[in-house]
């Protein structure tokens, strides 16, 4: 009997060791990826539902693994967060996105804004405000064109601290969007207190607009509430003409999703969207 449980113990340790080893390997690969500059930013356009014009580009990170090709962020962001590498990669993404944005401006391409995703850990980090300040530098355009996307769940975790940080960021002229709105536990009473500019409705609500009985009413309520708080509303994950049409009827400001475009490489974004758009 004792032997059987001993075997089981051994079995579990072997399994655990294997997964720990796999994680360590991935961690090392990610460290190297940072050194070798294998991370890339793809951009997905947001467009105005009123005019159809391009308004903004959201930077979405990928890892260009030479062995396997592009790896989506869902596969490596959690490891970056676990290991603390997210600070360095996050800093890189912010600087890279701003650099692309300023190049677009200097080249006289369309005046879009640039949106960068922030990990919950970054906002909580002591040096974060100073880092943004440094990345922006003295360029007033950089601050005015930059939008940070921060998930709702993070803000709600520590509302007091979040409000103070968000205020400091906005004081620089940078705008703030609440990402994945509706998926967290936010109480609506907090929304009025948050120093934010934009609310991004999560894709799950966009889907339910046409599939669930209360979906349409829910999205309508979110949009009206946001507007009453003077917030801009962006719907994410818009894939169908029907969704786009309904969002337009509901007075949603902007949309983003495969219907208009998937995220594309910087080169494709420039050729397809910036060169063609009026300034
Ligand atoms: P997110 O910020 O909510 O980004 C939207 C995700 O939905 C993106 O996935 C995008 O490619 C995808 N998407 C856009 N339109 C559609 C659509 O119409 N249908 C469907 N099914 N999907 C759509 P992606 O690029 O894999 O990014 C996943 C998440 O990774 C992002 O979610 C964001 O939370 C995180 N992320 C991406 N880049 C960064 C980054 O630089 N830093 C940090 N901290 N997180 C990032
Ligand atoms: Ca986002
Ligand atoms: Ca989102
Ligand atoms: Ca989402």
**pLDDT per residue as tens digits for the range 211-265:** 988 999 999 999 999 999 999 999 999 999 999 999 999 999 999 999 999 999 9
Task: Go through the chain and tell me how many residues it has.
Answer: 279
pLDDT more than 90, % of the chain: 70
Pairing of strands 198-201, 254-255: unpaired
Q: 263 C-alpha to center of ligand 1: Å?
A: 9
Ligand 1 atom at minimal distance to the Cα of residue 90: 42
- Give the closest ligand to the alpha carbon of residue 121: 1
Q: Which of 111, 36, 26 is nearest to 71 (CA)?
A: 26
Nearest CA to ligand 1 atom 27: 73
Query: In this structure, how many other beta carbons lie within 10 angstroms of the beta carbon of residue 276?
Result: 10
Alpha-carbon distance of 232 to 197, in angstroms, equals 6
* pLDDT value for 1: 43
* pLDDT value for 190: 78
| CB distance 196 to ligand 1 below 6 Å | no
Alpha-carbon distance of 187 to 168, in angstroms, equals 23
Residue 10 predicted with pLDDT over 70: no
* pLDDT value for 185: 62
What are the pLDDT digits (tens) for 188-202? 677 888 899 999 999
- HSE (side-chain half, CA atoms, 13 Å) at 16: 6
What are the pLDDT digits (tens) for 100-152? 999 998 888 877 999 999 988 898 888 999 999 999 987 878 899 999 999 87
pLDDT band at 2 (very low <50, low <70, confident <90, very high): very low
Residue that has been written with the tokens 């060169």 in this structure: 275
| CB distance 263 to ligand 1 below 6 Å | yes
* pLDDT value for 172: 94
Alpha-carbon distance of 149 to 161, in angstroms, equals 17
SS3 200: strand
Alpha-carbon distance of 173 to 163, in angstroms, equals 16
Ligand 1 atom at minimal distance to the Cα of residue 180: 3
The more confidently predicted of residues 38 and 18 is 38
Are 116 and 146 a contacting pair, CB within 8 Å? yes
Alpha-carbon distance of 54 to 90, in angstroms, equals 25
| Cα Rg of the chain (Å, integer) | 21
Residue 184 sits at φ, ψ, to 5 deg, of: -95, -160
Residue 137 sits at φ, ψ, to 5 deg, of: 65, -140
| CB distance 165 to ligand 1 below 6 Å | no
Query: In this structure, how many other beta carbons lie within 10 angstroms of the beta carbon of residue 161?
Result: 12
Strands (E), the chain: 39-48, 54-65, 69-71, 113-117, 146-151, 175-181, 198-201, 232-235, 254-255, 264-265
In Å, what is the CA distance from 82 to each residue of 74, 179, 233, 254?
13, 21, 32, 34
CA angle 270, 67, 24 (to 5 degrees): 110
Are 234 and 213 a contacting pair, CB within 8 Å? no
* pLDDT value for 51: 94
* pLDDT value for 4: 53
Residue 75 predicted with pLDDT over 80: yes
- HSE (side-chain half, CA atoms, 13 Å) at 198: 26
* pLDDT value for 277: 54
DSSP conformation class of 262: -
Instruction: For this complex, say whether ipTM is above 0.90.
Output: yes
Residue 56 predicted with pLDDT over 50: yes
* pLDDT value for 173: 95
Q: 160 C-alpha to center of ligand 2: Å?
A: 23
pLDDT mean across residues, the chain: 90
- Identify the bridge partners of residue 175 per DSSP, sorted by sequence position: 147
Burial of 275 (0-12, 13-18, 19+ CB in 10 A): exposed
Residue 186 predicted with pLDDT over 90: no
- Give the closest ligand to the alpha carbon of residue 204: 4
pTM (predicted TM-score): 0.92
Q: 14 C-alpha to center of ligand 2: Å?
A: 38
Compute the average pLDDT of residues 81-102.
Answer: 95
pLDDT band at 158 (very low <50, low <70, confident <90, very high): confident
Residue 76 predicted with pLDDT over 60: yes
Nearest CA to ligand 1 atom 41: 61
């Amino acid at each position: 009997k004792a032997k059987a449980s001993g075997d089981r113990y051994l079995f579990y340790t072997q399994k655990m060791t294997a997964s720990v080893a796999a994680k360590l390997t991935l961690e090392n690969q990610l460290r190297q990826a940072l050194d070798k500059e294998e991370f890339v930013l793809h951009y997905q356009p947001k467009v105005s539902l009123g005019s159809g014009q391009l308004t903004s580009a959201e930077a979405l990170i990928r890892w260009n693994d030479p062995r396997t090709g592009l790896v989506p962020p869902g596969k490596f962001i959690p490891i970056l967060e676990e290991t603390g590498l997210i600070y360095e990669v996050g800093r890189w993404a912010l600087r890279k996105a701003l650099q692309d944005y300023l190049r677009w401006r200097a080249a006289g391409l369309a005046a879009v804004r640039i949106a960068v995703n922030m990990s919950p850990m970054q906002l909580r980090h002591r040096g974060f405000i100073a880092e943004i300040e440094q990345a922006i530098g003295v360029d007033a355009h950089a601050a005015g064109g930059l939008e940070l996307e921060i998930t709702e769940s993070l803000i709600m975790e520590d509302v007091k601290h979040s409000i103070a940080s968000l205020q400091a960021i906005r004081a620089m002229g940078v705008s703030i969007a609440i990402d994945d709105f509706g998926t967290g536990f936010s109480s609506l009473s907090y929304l009025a207190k948050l120093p934010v500019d934009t609310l991004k409705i999560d894709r799950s609500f966009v889907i339910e607009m046409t599939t669930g009985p209360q979906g349409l009413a829910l999205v309508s309520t979110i949009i009206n509430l946001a507007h009453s708080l003077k917030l801009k509303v962006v719907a994410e994950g818009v894939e169908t003409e029907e969704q786009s049409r309904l969002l337009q009827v509901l007075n949603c400001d902007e949309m983003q999703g495969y219907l208009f475009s998937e995220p594309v490489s910087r080169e494709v974004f420039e050729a397809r969207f910036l060169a063609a758009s009026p300034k």
